[in-house]
Amino acid sequence: MAFDIGSLGPPMAICLSAVGSAIGCAISGMATHGVLTKTDEGHGKYLGMSAAPASQTIYGFVLMILLNNQLQQTPHNSLGIFAIGVFCGIGIMVSAIFQGKVCATGVLASLKKPSLYAKTFLAVGITESFALFTLIGGILSMSVLPK
């Protein structure tokens, strides 16, 4: 049985997404740890913000399932499925890493000025949207693969 490069596409989608989420959560988590030592209240909101980059793993998981289904239906599209998994995985990973940085600055800003907390979520959401755009792009790319 020959090696099929397409079989690497789905695990790459989830793997790269999870790596990005782990890095993003670590970045924001480290900032949160520092903030927790400086305040005795509002710990939950800081911890919640530091977990935001974890959601990108969900997008990678969805993409993995869809790519697996696509691979079962059209195994002759191996290279396309591999490319979608890798490139979308990278896009989602980068979004998660930078969302972690945005969360870290949001945590630090809201410690200094608590009224900014809700406002900092705008940048967190915008950064998250790029992972969603990547997921949608991957789904649309699957639809144009030859049948």
Q: What are φ and ψ of residue 74, in 5° steps?
A: -135, 75
What integer best gives the mean pLDDT of the chain? Answer: 95
Q: What is the pLDDT of residues 18-35, one digit of tens each?
A: 999 999 999 999 999 999
- Predicted pLDDT at 135: 98
Q: Which domains does the chain have, with CATH numbers?
A: 5-143 (1.20.120.610)
Name the token pair of 39: 């305040």
To the nearest 10 degrees (0 to 180), the angle between helices 78-112 and 55-73 is 170
- pTM summary value: 0.94
Cα 56 from Cα 58, distance rounded (Å): 5
